[in-house]
Amino acid sequence: MQRIRLRYTKRGRLRFTSHRDFQRAFERALRRAEVPMAYSAGFTPHPKVSYANAAPTGTGSEAEYLEIQLAEVREVGQLRKLLDESLPDGLDITDAVEARTSSFAERLEASVWELRLDGVEPADAERAVAAFLAAEQVDVQRRTKNGLRTFDARGAVIRLEARDAAADRPGDGPCAILRLVVRHATPAVRPDDVLSGLRATADLAPPVPAAVTRLAQGLLDEESGTVTDPLAPDRDAAPAFPTTAAGPSPAGGAQVPEGSA
C-alpha cells in the first residue's frame, strides 16, 4: 500500500558491521517499532525491504539507502522517528520520504568519499593526487571471489582533491584529507582501489589504514562533478497536502529534514 525510502548512517564502531549484520538489526527495529510490513509470498515470507549499493564493511557512511513496503499507510516522519529510536546509536535513520517515483537505484550514479590519511603530509598527498589525475589509466588489482582481477581505477574518478587536516585537529601530527567523487561503474571502484592507484602512481603509502567515510551518493551533475540528493525527486513529486493514515495533513509528513541523529 505504501513504499518508504530511508536514508541511514553507519558511524563510529558501527562502520565495522557487515551488510548482513545491518539487515538483522534493521529487521529487529521493524519489529520493535511495530511497522506494518508487507511480506513476500511463498513458504518463507520475508519483509519487503530493498537495499541499494551498501558501503563496504569497515567504511563509515552518512548516505546509505533502503526502501520498505508497508501493508498499511503510516505518517512518514513518525515512522522515521520510531525506527531511529529502535536502532543502536551509529545506525541512524536521518531522512525518509514516501516513494512517488520509480527507478530509485538508477539515481545512485556516484558517491562522495572522504579519506583521512593519518601520518601523511598534505604536500605529499597533493603531489600524489596530481600524478593520479594526470594519468590516462591507473591499473590496480583486487582479489575477488573469482580470483585476482585487474582494472582501471582512474576512469571512474570524477574529482579528487587533497587538503590539510590540521584545522580539524591541530597538534596531532601530519594528516591529509582526500575528497573523492567516484562514478558507480562495473567493476565498482572503491576508495581502497584509489589508494592502491595513488601508491602505484606516486608511491603514497599511509603508515596506518585510512579512515573512510561516504558523505553522499546520488545523481551525478556532470558539469560540476557534484552529487545531488536522490530523494529530491520524491519530495518534488509529493502533493501540497499529502494524505496520511490520519487523513489530509497540511503539515505534510512525506518530508523529513535531513540531519544527524
Predicted pLDDT of residue 246: 44
Return d(Cα 245, Cα 125) in angstroms, integer.
53
Predicted pLDDT of residue 167: 66
The beta-strand segments (E) located in 169-259 are 175-183, 211-221, 226-228, 243-244, 247-248
Predicted pLDDT of residue 161: 97
Q: Calculate the CA 242 to chain-centre distance.
A: 28
Amino acid at 167: A
Q: Which of 2-16, 23-37, 107-121, 234-248 has the lowest mean pLDDT?
A: 234-248
Q: Which of 53, 63, 114, 56 is nearest to 93 (CA)?
A: 63
What is the average pLDDT value for the chain, to the nearest integer? Answer: 89
Task: Provide, rounded to the nearest whole percent, the portion of the chain with pLDDT above 70.
Answer: 90
The tens digit of pLDDT for each residue in 168-212 reads 666 678 999 999 999 998 889 999 999 999 999 999 999 999 999
Q: Calculate the CA 183 to chain-centre distance.
A: 13
Predicted pLDDT of residue 41: 87
* Residue 143 in grid coordinates: 582479489
CB 121 within 8 A of CB 205: no
The CATH class of the 109-227 domain is alpha beta
Give 11's pLDDT tier (boundaries 50, 70, 90).
very high
CB 87 within 8 A of CB 93: yes
Predicted pLDDT of residue 89: 95
Give 253's pLDDT tier (boundaries 50, 70, 90).
very low
Same fold, 2-105+230-248 and 109-227: yes
The CATH architecture one would assign to domain 2-105+230-248 is 2-Layer Sandwich (3.30)
Please say if the pLDDT value at position 243 is more than 60.
no
Return d(Cα 104, Cα 65) in angstroms, integer.
10
The beta-strand segments (E) located in the chain are 2-10, 49-52, 60-70, 93-98, 110-118, 139-144, 147-152, 157-164, 175-183, 211-221, 226-228, 243-244, 247-248
The tens digit of pLDDT for each residue in 12-71 reads 999 999 999 999 999 999 999 999 999 998 888 899 999 999 999 999 999 999 999 999
Please say if the pLDDT value at position 148 is more than 80.
yes
Please say if the pLDDT value at position 137 is more than 90.
yes
Q: Which of 231, 217, 227 is nearest to 188 (CA)?
A: 217
Domain positions in the chain are: 2-105+230-248, 109-227
Strand pairing of 147-152 and 139-144? antiparallel
